[in-house]
A and B are shown apart, each in its own frame.
Chain A
Amino acid sequence: QVQLQESGPGLVKPSGTLSLTCAVSGGSIISTSWWTWVRQSPGKGLEWIGEIFHAGSTTYNPSLESRVSMSVDKSKNQFSLKLTSVTAADTAVYYCASKDWNHKTNYFDSWGPGTLVTVSS
């Protein structure tokens, strides 16, 4: 399993853009994994934001699709998340994770420790 580490600003102003990066170590971002972002609002459950394959294909949660974009930087072995027009409702711990497969199903088997992003002026 790879190791993942999120980084980025912990405070974003309302209407601004949230930008996070996830560094992948112990493996290559050029693999069969889909690279994923999940968030968790304080005291709440888990919300899947979306995922990206190293070749650039993306799938986003329809509830966030108009504001989300993801990218991969193969040279740095990392992937990124951008969320625009943020509000207080976007305050959450953001996790990056790898989604892997076997012949039965797919699942999130490696996770970063998470990073808290607060939206506030």
Chain B
Amino acid sequence: DIQMTQSPSSLSASVGDRVIITCRASRPIDSDLNWYQQKPGQAPKLLIYAVSDLQGGVPSRFSGSGSGTHFTLTIASLQPDDFATYYCQQSNTNPPLTFGGGTKVEIK
């Protein structure tokens, strides 16, 4: 299995802050890396696929980068609607498809 490790597991930030979340794969996964946002009581929502492609309707303050085993999700200017948990997911090796452990973004 490809293990996906996110850091930090949680962070506190203020509205307007730049936030960076890191995801590391246990072995290279090319560009097969997706990001999801999940709010309490809701299903995950696709934000970014293939490392850096924004899903339709996702604000441009979200961006993704990386390659191989190291990837990042950046929120350029944190907005109130962005407080949530973020998950990375590798789509390179199946089975199994695997997710990171999540990063909870909380209000400072």
B87 contacts the other chain (CB 8 A):
yes
Report the separation of the CA atoms of residues A89 and B14 in the bound assembly, to the nearest whole angstrom: 36
Q: Which of B45, B50, B99 contacts A48 (CB 8 A)?
A: B99
Number of interface residues of A (CB under 8 A): 24
B67 contacts the other chain (CB 8 A):
no
Number of interface residues of B (CB under 8 A): 28
Q: Are A48 and B98 in contact (CB under 8 A)?
A: yes
A-contact 0/1 string along B69-93, CB 8 Å cutoff: 0000000000000000001010110
Q: Are B96 and A46 in contact (CB under 8 A)?
A: no
A-contact 0/1 string along B46-72, CB 8 Å cutoff: 100110010100000000000000000
Chain B interface SS verdict (over half): loop
Residues of A within 8 Å of B87, CB to CB, are 45-46
6 of the cross-chain contacts (CB-CB < 8 Å) are: A46-B44, A46-B87, A46-B89, A48-B97, A95-B43, A105-B31
Residues of B within 8 Å of A45, CB to CB, are 87, 99-102
A-B CB contacts (within 8 Å), total count: 68
Contact residues, A61-103 vs B (CB, 8 A): 61-63, 95, 97, 102
Q: Are A47 and B31 in contact (CB under 8 A)?
A: no
Instruction: Known contacts A45-B102, A95-B43; decide if A107 and B49 are in contact (CB<8 Å).
Output: yes
Known contacts A48-B99, A105-B33, then 16 further A-B pairs from the complex at CB < 8 Å, ordered by chain A residue = A45-B99, A45-B101, A46-B36, A46-B87, A46-B99, A48-B96, A59-B94, A60-B95, A63-B96, A95-B44, A102-B49, A105-B32, A105-B34, A109-B49, A111-B45, A114-B43
Q: Are B55 and A108 in contact (CB under 8 A)?
A: no
Residues of A within 8 Å of B99, CB to CB, are 45-48
Closest 3 CB pairs of A and B: A111-B43, A104-B50, A107-B49
Report the separation of the CA atoms of residues A70 and B62 in the bound assembly, to the nearest whole angstrom: 35
Q: Which of A47, A60, A111 contacts B44 (CB 8 A)?
A: A111
